[in-house]
Amino acid sequence: MKSIAIIIKKELRRFFTDRRLLISVFMPGIMIYLLYSLIGNFLFSTPQSQEYKIAVQNPSATFQTVLDGYMQSEEVKDTYSLTVIESDGQAEEKKKELENKELDLLVIFSADFDEKLALYMQGVKPEQLPVMQVYYNALEQSSQSIYTIVTTLYDAMESSLANVFEVAGGNVATESDGFAYMLSTILPMLIMVFLFQGSMMMTPESIAGEKERGTFATMLVTPVSRSAIAVGKIIALSLVASLSGLSSFLGVIFSLPKMAGMSMSGLNIAYGFGDYLLLFANIIVLEMLFVALVSVISAYAHSIKEATAYSTVLMIVVMLVGMVSMVGTLPSALWVYFIPVFNAVVVINQIVTFSVSALGVALTIVANLVCVALLVLLLAKMFNNENIIFGK
Partner 1 sequence: MEEILRAEHLRKTFKISAKQRKIERTEERCKVAVNDVSFSAYRGEVFGLLGPNGAGKTTTLRILSTLIGADSGDAIVCGCSVRKQPEEVRKHIGFMTSELKLESFFTPSYLFDFFSELHGVPKEKAMQRKQELFRKFGIDRFAEVKVGDLSTGMKQKASLVISIVQDPELIIFDEPTNGLDVLTAKVVTDFLIELKNMGKSIILSTHIFSLAEKICDRIGIIVDGNMIKEDTLAAITEKRSLEEEFFALYAQIKGENL
302 binds partner 1 per the rule CB under 8 A: no
For the range 60-63, what are the long-range contacts, defined as Cβ-Cβ under 8 Å and sequence gap of 24 or more?
60/109, 60/113, 60/114, 60/117, 60/132, 61/114, 62/113, 62/114, 62/117, 62/157, 63/107, 63/109
Question: Cα–Cα distance between 325 and 306 in angstroms, integer?
Answer: 31
**Is position 14 an interface residue for partner 1 (rule: CB under 8 A)?**
yes
Among 1, 121, 221, 327, binds partner 1 (CB under 8 A): 221
Is 23 one of the binding residues for partner 1 (CB under 8 A)? no
Interacting residue with partner 1 among 27, 153, 253, 389 (CB under 8 A) = 389
Considering only 34, 61, 217, 359, the residue that binds partner 1 (CB under 8 A) is 217
Stretch that binds partner 1, among 7-15, 24-32, 158-166, 184-192 (CB under 8 A): 7-15
Options 18, 92, 93, 102; binder of partner 1; rule CB under 8 A = 18
CA distance 238 to 273: 23
CB 362, min distance to partner 1, A? 36
Query: Which of 77, 96, 101, 213 lies at the binding interface for partner 1 (CB under 8 A)?
Result: 213
| Choices 33-41, 219-227, 293-301, 339-347; region in contact with partner 1 by CB under 8 A | 219-227
The answer to whether 6 contacts partner 1 (rule: CB under 8 A) is yes
Q: Give 210 or 287: the residue with its C-beta nearer to partner 1.
A: 210
Measured from the CB atom, is 122 or 387 closer to partner 1?
Answer: 387
Q: How far apart are alpha carbons 382 and 211 in whole angstroms?
A: 12
Write down the least CB distance from residue 6 to partner 1, Å.
5
| Nearer to partner 1 (CB atom), residue 110 or residue 227 | 227
- The one among 66, 224, 267, 371 contacting partner 1 by CB under 8 A: 224
Angle (nearest 5°) at CA 215 between 214 and 217: 75
Closest of 287, 243, 222 to residue 6, by C-alpha: 222
CA 73, CA 82: separation in Å to the nearest integer?
A: 19
Binding site for partner 1 (CB under 8 A): 2-3, 6, 10, 13-14, 18, 210, 213-215, 217-225, 386, 389-390
